[in-house]
Amino acid sequence: VVIVSALTFRILHGVRDLVLSLVDIGQQFGFIEETLSLIGSPPLLTDGLGSCRLQRGGGSIEFRDVSFGYRAAGEDAIRNLKLCIPSGQKVGIVGPSGAGKSTLISLIQRLYDAQEGEVLVGGRSVRSVTQDSLRDALAVVPQEVSLFHRSVMENIRIARPSATDEEIFAAARAALCDGFVQGLPYGYHTVVGERGAKLSGGQRQRIGLARAFLKMAPIVIFDEATSALDSESEILLQKAVVDLMGGHTVIAVAHRISSILAFDRVLVMQNGTVVEDGRPADLLQQAGHFRRIWRLQSGALGNGAPAFQESRPE
C-alpha cells in the first residue's frame, strides 16, 4: 500500500507539473502575441472556417468602406475607404509619409484584417479565401529585396520554380538585370546573398522585379520597388510593366511621380484616404496635390525636389 501510494503521489505531481508548464507556455504565447501587437507586427492570421481557394484569374481589387487602425484605441491608418480597381488596371499611389499607402497594400495581402468594411480580391473577400491561394494571386516587390545564399538564377527562379532557364533570362532582361548579371564573376551562376557577391540596393531591386516578371501573378504590387534605381532605368521599367503586364493589375507605391506617369490611374492618399483619383494627364490639368508635387519634383517651381514632398493644393 505504501509503495502504491508513493507511486500515485509521484504521478499526480508529474501531471500537476505538466499542467503548470502548459499554462506557462500558454502565458508566454499570450505575452509574445501582446508584444507583437505592441510593436505593430502583423498578427498571424489563419484561414477562416470554410475558406476556399481563390480562383486564379481575376485581378480586380475592391475596398468597401474599409477602416483600419493598428491599435483598437489609436487613430485609423485607413479611413472609410471606398475603391474599385478593375482587373488589368495600372495604378500608381502617391502621398506623404504616413498617408496609409503601405497599409492599403498590407490589407490587400491580408496581413491585417480591417476592423470595418471588406477588402475583395478577384471578387472574393480576402477573409473567405485561403491565404495560400491569395499569395498565389499576388506578386509583391518590396523596397528591400531579400536574397538567398544561392545563385542569381535560383534567386529569380524562386518566384516560379517550374520556370525554364529561357523564361528566367527573359524576366531578367525585362527587369534590366541582364547587364549587371553578365558582369558578375559567374554570370547567372554567381552566388549572392549575405555571404555571396555583394549587390547594390538597385541591383537587388532589379532581382525583385525579375521575380515579379517571372511570376506574372494576376496582381503585381510594387512597394517603392524602384526607389534605388536611376531615373532612366525607372522610366524603362515603367514601360516594361505597361508593355509586358498587359492583362495584369499593377499597383505601384511611388515617391517619384515620373515612375508612374504612363499608368492608367493615380491615387493621391492623405490621412488614410484617397484625396485625388484620376488619369495622370487629367490630374496634371487640375490645380491639386498631384500637379503641385509634379511641379516640385520636375523643378518647375524652382525646386528640383527628388522625392515626394508634402504639399497643399494650389
User: Does 100 help bind ligand ATP (rule: CB under 6 A)?
Assistant: yes
Q: Which listed residue (58, 70, 89, 305) binds ligand ATP by CB under 6 A?
A: 70
Of 84-92, 97-105, 232-240, 288-296, the window that binds ligand ATP (rule: CB under 6 A) is 97-105
Q: Do residues 297 and 309 make contact, with C-beta atoms less than 8 angstroms apart?
A: yes
- Choose, by CB under 6 A, the member of 66, 81, 90, 103 that binds ligand ATP: 103
Q: How far apart are CA 215 and CA 156, in angstroms?
A: 9
Shortest distance in whole angstroms from residue 95 CB to ligand ATP: 5
- C-alpha to C-alpha distance for 281 and 263, rounded to whole angstroms: 10
Choosing from 14, 26, 30, 40, the residue that interacts with ligand ATP (CB under 6 A) is 40
Burial (CB < 10 A; 0-12, 13-18, 19+), residue 26, is exposed
Asked if residue 249 lies in contact with residue 60, where contact means CB atoms within 8 angstroms, the answer is yes
Q: Give Cα separations from 8 to 15, 16, 17, 111, 197 (angstroms).
A: 11, 12, 14, 49, 63
State which of residues 5, 46, 97, 162 lies at the interface with ligand ATP (CB under 6 A). Answer: 97
Among 81, 85, 94, 99, binds ligand ATP (CB under 6 A): 99
On whether the CB atoms of residues 136 and 217 are closer than 8 A, the answer is yes
Q: What share of the chain is helix, strand, coil (3-state, %, to 5)?
A: 40, 20, 40
Binding segment for ligand ATP among 98-106, 114-122, 200-208, 236-244 (CB under 6 A)? Answer: 98-106
Q: Which of 111, 133, 118 is nearest to 51 (CA)?
A: 133
Answer yes or no whether residue 102 interacts with ligand ATP by CB under 6 A: yes
Binding segment for ligand ATP (CB under 6 A), chosen from 52-60, 83-91, 99-107, 178-186, is 99-107
Report the residue from 54, 61, 66, 77 that binds ligand ATP according to the rule CB under 6 A.
77
Count interface residues toward ligand ATP (CB under 6 A). 11
Minimum CB separation from ligand ATP for residue 167, in Å? 32
- Contacts to ligand ATP by CB under 6 A: 40, 70, 77, 95, 97-103
